[in-house]
Amino acid sequence: MPLSLDGINSGLDTSALIGSLVAVAGAPGAQLTEDQDDARDTLEAVGEFKTKLAALQTSLEDLADPEVFGEYALSQSDDTAFLASVGNEATAGTYEIEVTELAKAEMEVSQGFAEKSDTGVLSTGTLSVTVAGVTTDLDFDAEVTLSSMATALDEVDGISAFVLDTGDASTPYKLVVLGGDTGADNSISFDTSALTGGTTPTFTEQVSAQNAEVSVNGIGISSADNTLEDVIPGMDLDLTQQTTDPVTVTINRDDAAIMDKIEAFVDAWNDVRVFHGASSDYDPETGSKGALYNEGTTRGILDTLGLKIVTPAGESSSGEDLSFSLLGISTTQTGNLELDREALQDMLDSDYDFVSEVFSAEDGPGVTLSTLMDDTYLGTDGFLKNKEDSLEGTIEDLEDSIASFETRLESYEERLREKFTNMEVALGQLQSTQSYLSALIGGTSS
């Protein structure tokens, strides 16, 4: 930057003059910055619009899944004895269920022993244990103890074993063998005939291996496990105890869940509209405008979708036009949607398949809308991605223009300072010449 001789000879505030001139010259740069800020705001708003549109498309995808219209709700009069659950293959109806027996694993307990680690107490030889029909032979020598016998039994497939301290004053230690699986087929038996000498362990069946026994509407069902799958098609039971009275289980189609999903679609559309409306506002008094004011891509998408929502598309299996309006979905004066749940319930009761087809039929309005958004608007080559790319390009171009303009503005300021400095120098020289001439003339006169 050249040396500044700010008003040294002219008496002018040359820095202020330069600042004013630079400010005037910099006005276009401020406009470039404002344009860039506007482009960034629009890019952000387009991104949010895209997100809300994706939520709308997801709500339609959810309703296009045939399983949505196969959901069932279950209720039971008492849940202390078992918990029932229901899937999409369920059969609607009312069922009286009783649990008369729970499935159990066998438990065998030996007589008591005074010590658990002493050798020379137990018999030696071969102990045969049979679990679920499979026999395993265990060989014990003179070093056997109650604890080592428990360890050997614990390694047999299908059972676990341990030594229990009962606290008895004289013979507190008992060998406990537990079955790993419930059900009558998983019984446990011992053959001690090949054991000799010492004390032979004798086992008492404390709990018998047994099946769960359940009655559904008077029909008996037996299970080796306390979790019963497809007791009736689509219904499972998890048993916890026997019932004292029959438990009533009712299975109905889950209309409330379906209506909630349809209402989610309505809400998602309204969310798109409300956001776009707020982002497109213009206040003539203040001149303020939303980020999407006069933005054509999002406006065009909204108009197209709005038209398709009110236009029937495709035919039902019975030949009727498929339309959202027949489901109790109406358009308000503002363009938002409203759902009449009572009207929708009536349609579910009278023509359940029609409601499903509105959202799941390939040429129906639901799938048509979803496909349009997915392929044309939201895809990697969709309108909104192209709009975002265009805005990002504009922002980059403006960034370059701003940088270039600032460089030119700095050069302009340097030239102004150089000119004003030269002016001050020239004035200084003129003033010196004037003083010299004045002195010369004054001397001559005298």
pLDDT in tens, 171-185: 999 999 999 999 999
- Look at residue 289 in the predicted model and tell me its pLDDT: 85
Give 183-194 pLDDT, tens digit per residue: 999 999 999 999
Q: Is the pLDDT of residue 2 over 70?
A: no
Co-location of 222 and 187 in the same domain: no
Co-location of 269 and 414 in the same domain: yes
**C-alpha–C-alpha distance, residues 113 and 123, integer Å:** 13
- Look at residue 371 in the predicted model and tell me its pLDDT: 92
Dihedral sign for Cα 367, 373, 379, 382, please.
positive
Co-location of 43 and 125 in the same domain: no
**C-alpha–C-alpha distance, residues 105 and 226, integer Å:** 11
- Look at residue 405 in the predicted model and tell me its pLDDT: 73
Co-location of 90 and 221 in the same domain: yes
Give 257-267 pLDDT, tens digit per residue: 899 999 999 99
What angle is formed at CA 80 by the lines to CA 79 and CA 83, rounded to 5 degrees? 45
Q: Where are the alpha helices (DSSP H) in 280-382?
A: 296-309, 341-350, 352-360, 365-372
* Pick from 275, 267, 235, 206: nearest CA to 44: 275
DSSP letter at 395?
A: H
Co-location of 300 and 385 in the same domain: yes
Co-location of 189 and 218 in the same domain: no
Q: Is the pLDDT of residue 22 over 70?
A: no
pLDDT range class, residue 155, cuts 50, 70, 90 = very high
Q: Is the pLDDT of residue 6 over 70?
A: no
Co-location of 201 and 344 in the same domain: no
Element (H, E) at 435: helix 383-445
Co-location of 147 and 184 in the same domain: yes
Q: Residue 402 sits in a domain of what CATH number?
A: 1.20.1330
Q: Is the pLDDT of residue 251 over 70?
A: yes
Q: Is the pLDDT of residue 358 over 80?
A: yes
- Look at residue 430 in the predicted model and tell me its pLDDT: 79
Co-location of 401 and 369 in the same domain: yes
Domain boundary among 207, 238, 266: 207
Domain boundary among 193, 223, 253: 253
Burial letters for 309-341: b for 16+ Cβ neighbours within 10 Å, e otherwise? Answer: beebbbebeeeeebbbbbbbbeeeeebbbebee
Residue % of the chain over a pLDDT of 70: 93
Co-location of 188 and 315 in the same domain: no
Average pLDDT of the chain to the nearest whole number:
88
Give 388-438 pLDDT, tens digit per residue: 888 888 888 877 777 777 777 677 777 777 777 777 777 767 777 777 677
Give the distance from CA 53 to its chain's centroid: 17
Q: Which two tokens stand for residue 330?
A: 């109406």
Number of domains in the chain: 3
Sheet holding 124-131, edge to edge: 134-140, 124-131, 188-196
DSSP letter at 290?
A: -
**Which residues constitute the domain of residue 80?**
72-103+211-253
Co-location of 327 and 420 in the same domain: yes
User: What's the pTM value of the predicted model, to 2 decimals?
Assistant: 0.64
Give 57-105 pLDDT, tens digit per residue: 999 999 998 778 878 889 999 999 999 998 877 888 999 999 999 999 9
Q: Is the pLDDT of residue 303 over 60?
A: yes
Residue % of the chain over a pLDDT of 90: 60
Co-location of 161 and 26 in the same domain: no
Domain boundary among 198, 223, 253: 253
pLDDT greater at residue 26 or residue 345: 345
- Look at residue 315 in the predicted model and tell me its pLDDT: 87
Highest averaged pLDDT of the listed ranges 30-39, 260-269, 331-340: 260-269
pLDDT range class, residue 232, cuts 50, 70, 90 = confident
Q: Is the pLDDT of residue 249 over 70?
A: yes
